[in-house]
Amino acid sequence: MSARAPVSVDINGPILVVTLDRPKANAIDAATSRALYEAISLLHSDEKLRVAVVTAAGQRLFSAGWDLKAANGGETADADHGNGGFAGITELFNRTKPIIAAVNGSAYGGGVELMLAADLVVASEAATFSFPEARLGVLPDAGGVIRMAARLPRALAVELLVTGRSFTANEAHHWGLIPKLPRLAAVQAAGAAPFARSFEEGFARRHRVKADTVATAIKIGDPASYDRAVTAIRTTNGVVLSVQDGDLLEAKAAIDASGVGCEPASAASLAGVRELRRRGTLRADERVVAILTGNMLKDPGLLLKYHQEVEPPPAWANRPLEVEPSLSEIERVLRR
């Protein structure tokens, strides 16, 4: 079996997306640095590409930095990381096209240095950062010291580098390290929307309700992480809304028809986007990232009822067809 590639590449028009993919921590060894450099090199060798986005697989960790397992295996700090230096871009000084770091999880040590080497950073509100090297008696040596000192007041940069204390994405945004945090939208089913009710009142009080919705995974009347959710919405100037069960089912049918599939609760993301567009909160040219989880076969009885029994048939209803048991007949139906 061939080894899993530590880096994947996707080209979307003029955008090059480079994804670091080394479970569980997305740690970076010399081979991964070289792979990142080779991927980023496409940005400059292909004149049709205009920008690169560097991100990471998973949601918990963007990168834990230098691969300590590799170090314990004999890889030294001065190992050959390739022409771009550690993480492929920390010594890539003469580039002529921008690189964006899309930081979808926490970053430590070399992971922060990778982030700082980008021209622009967009980070998850939940991400945290730190330079733990000081606790090991060393300093970040892939440009972190220089870039932190250049972008932050000296006293603050020294504190973060010498103490190794962690800092949040909100702090990094406030200091100017991260220019942009995404605006969060939380979508609840109308019959289980205590958080949406609290949002409508400016979070003046915490609501609790008896939940009633067809989407079993979000049939929750008293969210456990209320305080953290309030902080996230306020920090990102976010919005909370609710959608009807019928809108959830229609959104799920649309997602399923696309070949992606999701559970009914996750379809709240698409239903919420549609509602925000209807209200004018979202512009047509804005980019939205929707989170889908769960198995598309969850709640099968509910789905059968939607597709087979509701009258008149909903717009996205996929009524079953009875055909003769022959390949030609099946092909004929599929070609309709």
Catalytic residues: 113, 133
Residue among 300, 315, 312, 298 nearest 253 (CA): 315
**Going by C-beta distance under 8 Å and a sequence separation of 6 or more, which residues neighbour residue 76?**
none
Question: Cα separation of 86 and 143, whole Å?
Answer: 9
For the beta carbon of residue 169, count every other beta carbon within 10 angstroms. 25
Helix, strand, coil fractions of the chain, as percent rounded to 5: 40, 15, 45
**Going by C-beta distance under 8 Å and a sequence separation of 6 or more, which residues neighbour residue 59?**
104, 105, 124
**Going by C-beta distance under 8 Å and a sequence separation of 6 or more, which residues neighbour residue 201?**
none
Encoded tokens for 115: 């982030």
Helix or strand (DSSP H, E) at 11: strand 7-12
Q: CA 333 → CA 290, 320, 327, 328, distances in Å? A: 33, 12, 10, 9
Give the dihedral sign, CA 162/164/170/173.
Answer: positive
Phi and psi at residue 313, to the nearest 5°: -60, 130
- Check if the beta carbon of residue 18 is closer than 8 Å to that of residue 92: no
Question: Cα separation of 88 and 6, whole Å?
Answer: 12
**Going by C-beta distance under 8 Å and a sequence separation of 6 or more, which residues neighbour residue 255?**
261, 262, 266, 267, 270, 292
